[in-house]
Amino acid sequence: MYLGIDLWDKRCGIALEVEGIIVPKAIVPRVELMQKLKKLSGEYSITHIIVWLPYDLYGKDKKQLNKTNLFIEKLRGIFPQVHIEWIDERFTSFEAENILQEIWGKNIWNKKDDLSAVLILESYIRKKKKEK
């Protein structure tokens, strides 16, 4: 089973692939993320965790990228049996905002992180299918 994370400093979106369908699972404060991941790992047979790497368009802002790489290393230590991978999805938050604005209008800020996680995980799985 695959789990996708849209990782940010304050809150993070989580999505799961359940029986071939990718669903938004939660938006959690960053400080509670590891606890939530441990809980989900216990509830589901997580085999892969996919994390969004926050590249900017010009490759200049490395601060968030460095934080994400440290987080990935921490994940590898906590979940040694799980494949931890990353994907460059620069526009998932923007895409999520556009989708949600079309559906709900302007009140979207509390919904976009888990939809971004869905888009990240969907993109990763689609990419892996093409490689086969």
In tens, the pLDDT along 77-118 reads 999 999 998 887 655 555 655 655 665 555 555 566 667 777
How many whole angstroms from its chain centre is CA 27? Answer: 10
Q: What is the pTM of this model?
A: 0.75
Residue from 123, 101, 122, 121 nearest 112 by CA: 101
Residue with tokens 């931890």: 84
| β partners of residue 70 | none
Q: Are 82 and 48 in contact (CB under 8 A)?
A: yes
Domains and CATH numbers, the chain: 2-131 (3.30.420.140)
